Structure formats: C-alpha cells, structure tokens
Structure 1
C-alpha cells in the first residue's frame, strides 16, 4: 500500500489553493510543498504531505485545528471505521463535539517520514529514481512541524485555534507551540509528554531486535514485503504494550478471539507500514526533548495522561515542571485501565477539557 500512496502522490499535479480547500472531504489528499530545508542542514526535494480535512476554512483563514497522529498511525486518525489500532479519534469529531467541522476547518496530516502518502523512506528519491530506504535523512520534530506549516500555508490557513494529538502527536503539538508561539491558541498533548520516557519497547535496541535478527533485513536493503512476518509479530507485541487486549475485552470481544483480533490488526498494518519509517520516526522521538524550551510557549496547554499508560506513565511526564513554567496549563490524569491506547476509547475523560480550551 505504501507504494500505491507514493505513486499517487508523485503523479498528482500541483493543485491550486481553491482546489485544496474546496475539495476537502474525509478522503486522502496530497499536497506538494516543494523543497524542505532540514534542521541538520540537509534538505528534501519535492516533498509531498498527505492529509485529510473536514469542515470549511473561514475567509480569514483563522478557524483551523491541526490534529496530529502517533508513531504508527496516519492522517486517518479521525476517519470513522479506519480501524486505527492506537485508538481512533473518530468519536471526537462531529457537530457539537470538540472537533466540530461546522465551526472549524480540521486538518490531519500524515507525518513527514511516515509511509501513508507523505514523503518518507519508501518514497522515490528524485535524484536516483529509487526509494530512499536507509538513505532517508535524519529528521526531527521541528522538521515535521515545518512540513505541516508549509502545508497549512498552501491551504490558506493563517492561524490555528489548536494543535492536538496523541503520543508522538503530542510531541508535534508541543513543538508547534515552541516553533510558532504566535500562530496558535491551544495545544493538547494526549498520552504524551515533552520528552520520550525511557522504556524498553521505545528503544532502538528493541526495534532492531525485531528487524535486525530477521535475515531479510539485510542491513536495511530488504526486498519489499520480505519482513511481513516479522512486522506482524512486532505489531502484536506493540498492541499488547499499548493495552489493546484490555480494550478488546472492554468492547466485549470473545476472550478466545482477542489474540486472533490482534493478529488480524497486525496483518493489515504489516501490509501497509514501511520498516524504515519505524526507524526514522523512532530516531526522531528519541531525539525529542523540549523541556529546556517550554518557556517559549504562549499557548494554553492541555496535558493528558492515563494512569495505566506504560509508555508515558504519570510519574514520568514532568507535569509539575510544566505547571511551573507554563502560563496556562491544565493537567488531566485519566483513571482508566486502557493504557496507551486510551485516548480514543476513553475520550470522555478528557475531551470536555479540550472543548473548553478551544472555546
């Protein structure tokens, strides 16, 4: 599937601002933002950003909300029936809901470096005509935010009412507030933190334990599809770490089918996701730490954690330091057993706070 996205993105002709905005429906859209200069001095030519959008942009371009996704999710985070394993945010969007398309223009981009249509390791390098693979440059969250800013400029957005996202989406929200402090009113970092707490399952050693021990990895020079079985097993382990077993049990799935359900989720994901994107985005997350720069934030901040989250446990998210540094800070700790995947299923525990801040 990632090859299909890449082909569609590269073959699409440049669209006008009117085309980009007026055609906005909950479908896949692609926008060429040109060359992107990276913080490390490298550059990416001919960058494409995939996105979904909902609602209508106001005449002055100031009613937009940016929704950012997590590590292995995509711009379909808000799409009903998308089956995003990390916990779909579809319940948060709709008339009268916190993400109200009758009031706001809501944009959800696929992260730079991912593999659902945005430029990433599986994209063709225009200099070679071959996928970047291991040659894809090192990127950080400032680069991801810069690509999103370029997309919003193309769409005619002049101001953001909010930037909200779960997990690595929260990293993006905080990076937005630091890099563009006058451009937005509110950020919500959900099941997230201003840095990546140290855990075994979010380490390069752990990832390479899965990828590197498969002979098909071949130092990153693998044949497309050759790592499918390994990716399936990796995904099941990740879903278990995210709390998916608990969620499926809470949804009433027959206990004898929980493992099978996770394996089917993993199989779908393994068909779509590029192993190189796992490496590129994890490396960016490991480099992420905005604690020294929190004082630059002028936006209101909503910080949401889950009591049972093993990746971002409440005692490791530095909320006291954030409260000390930030001018407007609200902390919500969800009392839920649903773990890292709780942001969608348990949205009722935190989305009223988001609605209040946006309003």
Structure 2
C-alpha cells in the first residue's frame, strides 16, 4: 500500500509586508532585496494569529479539497513547524480539536525548511504501518516572530503561512501515490542556521534564570548565508538525483520541479545542476518569501490552482533547511481541487 495525496490547501495571513515597508526601517531597498532573494513581498502574522491558527485554516481547506466526508476519515494529524505555539505541548492535538477531528493521533515534528519532506515521509509511514488510513499533514510557520526585524540579512527573507495535504491509503501505481523518498542530515553544521536561546541548552547553561539572562540577539535567528547557499545547492541536487534514480525517472520525465523557496538563486542553481529548463521550475517566493515547512505545499497549491500543474504531471519535490537537513520525493499529480490563496 502507499500514501496517496487526496487533497491540498493553503493559507496566508492577511498582513502584506512589501520591500518598501522594510526599507522604511532597515538599511536596504526593494532592488537590493529582489536581486539577492527574488522576494518582493511576504506575509506576517499579527493580531494574535499564530502557528496554530494558520494550521487550522490550511487544514480545513485541504479537508474540503479531499472530499465532504474527509473529517470523519482522518486518523492522524501531523504538523511540521519550526515556530511552535509553545515549547510544550505540541500544537497538533489542538489543531485536530479545532478542526473537529476528535481524539485522533496528533503530533508535531521539527525539521525547519525540510519539514514538509520529512513530514510527508512520516505520514506515509503511518499509513504503511497500518496505524492510519488517512492523515492530515500540515506545514505551518509563524517564523517571522523568531526573526530580528532589525537584521537586514534575515528580516527580508522570511514570511508566514501554512500548507496542508490529506493523504489516504491507496495503491502505489495510482496518481498521487508518494514515490521514493531521499532524506539526509549533517548535524555538524547545525550552527549555520539556528535560534540559540529558548531551549534546554540555554536554560541549563544559565541556571534557569530565564529570558533576561541571555543576550537579546540569542532569541532570534542567526544565519551564515554564504555557506548555507553552497550546502543547499549541493544537497538538494544530490538528493533530487538520488530520488530520481530510485524512482527510475530521468530528468526529462520531470514536468515540475517544486523546490523549497528559500532563495530564488538557490532554486535556479539546483535546477541548472539538474539540467532542468526554467519553464519546468516552479517559483512563488516573490510574493510569499521563505515560509519554511509551508513552502512546498503552498507552491504546489499555487501552481495547481492556476492550472499549470495538471493531473498526470510528474513532480519532483526537494528541500533543504536547518539541522542541517534535506529531502526529496516524487509523485504523479492526481486530480485534486486546489483553491487560490489570496
């Protein structure tokens, strides 16, 4: 048996933040941001909206996309996030409750920008093991709350949002069946992209004295951009090549490359390494920024909703993120309803 994609949905918070908005408080400009990242605008949470609310909205849309009785069929809810509501407990049980799914299995996983690929694999594992017949899997991020908005090297990059898919038990040869996965990590480079404070390492080191005991900057993301770029291109390329080999696909078989939207230059560099033409490379980073675990499902929903991604198209997914971690997967796109995210 296989995990088959049966529904998809996305949600973006209403607050739009343009490059011009950022330029009002940062030493930067619209041209500087666009030429280095490909981003023109992104969405920020506000007014109390956070990861859980984003996840609920995207999850509800994915359930509607799947079928009218999808709510009654869900056996498990998995939420991938790097910006949890709280350190404890996980947000997934609350999301399941708010969606009216009852006392189903529910848990979070954290793999930063690779979260959607890792979560797909974990959700597929629940189905393969017989623990669930239908899984609602959501990538949701309010990561801008962990970014120093006075840091011009990180503030322009990230946006908030959520993307969700419904996976059901099915046959490995039917459209929507998730193909081979390739996952990897390198923890020796974890400090290249990290939020130093807030976890047990910092709390143990300062004797549990709390927020004021560490430098304010440690509560926000730190990023080493140049080495991350090199690592991202290398590992996404290798991972994509590996999963294509295991799927017995050639590059010519790929109709769409849907890569994590970290930076448009990374996406294009990976596509160039794979020798994929530009017209088969999906991009939406210009209007959403880097939404971490929500990136890939939001992009899938976008190109499906506008009719560019069609039933029968062969799709290559790939992502890279903090950890360091990376992953890839393939699927043949099924006939599912996708609604544009405004």
Q: Same fold (TM over 0.5)?
A: no
RCO greater where, 1 or 2, for CA within 8 Å and sep 6 or more? 2
TM-score (ref. length: structure 1): 0.33
With structure 2 as the length reference, what TM-score do the two structures score?
0.34
Q: Whose strand proportion is higher, 1 or 2?
A: 2
